[in-house]
Amino acid sequence: MKKRRKNSGPKSTKRAQEAKEHDEYLEHAREEFKKTYCTMPPFLGSLRTLKAMKVIGSGTFGTVQLAINEVSGEYVAIKIMTKEFLVRTGQVRHAHNELKISYALNFPFVLNTVQFHHDNSYLYFVMPFISGGDMFSHLRRQGQFSEDLARFYAAQVTLTLEYMHFLQLVHRDVKPENILIDERGYLKVMDFGFTKYFKGRGFTTVGTPEYMAPELFLSSGYSFSVDWWAMGVLIFEMCAGYTPFSDRYKARLHERIASGVYESPKTFSPSLEHLLRNLIQIDVTKRYGTLKNGASDIKNHRWFRAINWPDILHRRVKPLFVPEVLAPGDVSHFLPESQDLKLEISDVDKYREFFRDF
């Protein structure tokens, strides 16, 4: 019996050419990252041209404030971190690492730092203002996304993680709160506070509990695999409206994650269910994204069959959802903060030695 010849038709040739071009794209991106990572972002000598407006976000390590450049009229987002807090919690090195990485990254679906400033009391990371709000807020308003919309978003996250992993970077905190939607309907992955340059294995437990892969808290060591687990949780949440693992007690949450047992809604398509079983996979040696084909196992999965990857990368696909933005400085898609930020800048530079590299 003769063996069937492998498909070598026009479609196969086109896919091979697209794969080659994408590899070249990633190689070029890596060289650009290496060059930029060795430098610091442009230092903004003064904040006088930036008029502070509303607080649009806050977290453990900083507050994000909307501002307008009174010279250019451009709106920007400023992440403000307190030097005293960074010194007290031992986060100075992490802040420096975040600054360098967020400036050096250059990808269509990444929010990067464009300028930097610091005074006696604070660090200021200046970034473009993305007016569409974060995915978390939209997901809570809509309840859940259709599989088509979730697939469109997941494709962008897949390309972003593939790009970061090619640069030897692991994000370690992929979740809806760290993904913005721009005025065109495309994504911007942000917050690189937990991002790390990897050559071997990591053992530090970081991240958001519901999105953490089991190897993060089992002290077995981990690598890029943790991001693909988190993406599986993200896809599940986009389509279901809730995460596959949850519990008010951390110990029980860890037990549930370590078991890998969860129930999917009956509305999930078979192809989606199959993809999730291979991403939310407790056996790292079987998890998609970590096998010999890397991200290609995900990109070639049947759930993504309708995706044209070059068109997604170059933002040529018409988004299924576009946030309604009334004006350039519209903050209606951000959850309102309870109070405005009042900065108290010291006359004395008490932390000069800690921030010499900034």
What are the residue numbers of the active site? 173
Q: Do residues 66 and 331 make contact, with C-beta atoms less than 8 angstroms apart?
A: yes
How many angstroms separate the CA atoms of 175 and 273, rounded? 19
Output the DSSP codes for 298-326.
HHTSGGGTT--HHHHHTT-SPPS-----S
Q: With the C-alpha atoms ordered 193, 198, 204, 205, is the resulting torsion angle positive or negative?
A: positive
79 is in an annotated binding site: yes
350 in Cβ contact with 120 (< 8 Å): yes
Dihedral of the alpha carbons of 325, 149, 337, 355, in degrees to the nearest 10: -100
Q: Report residue 321 as tokens.
A: 């959802």
Q: How far apart are alpha carbons 303 and 93 in whole angstroms?
A: 40
Q: How many CB atoms lie within 10 A of CB 304?
A: 18
Give the integer Cα–Cα distance in Å for 86 and 341.
18
Q: Alpha helix locations (H) across the chain?
A: 10-37, 83-88, 92-104, 135-142, 147-166, 214-217, 225-240, 250-259, 270-279, 296-299, 309-313
Residue 325 backbone class (left: φ over 0; alpha: ψ -120 to 50; beta: rest): beta
**Position of tokens 């806050």?**
58
- Reduced to 3 states, what is the DSSP secondary structure of residue 196? strand
Helix, strand or coil, per DSSP, at residue 169: strand
Q: How far apart are CA 69 and CA 104, in angstroms?
A: 23
Give the residue numbers of the binding site for ATP. Answer: 79
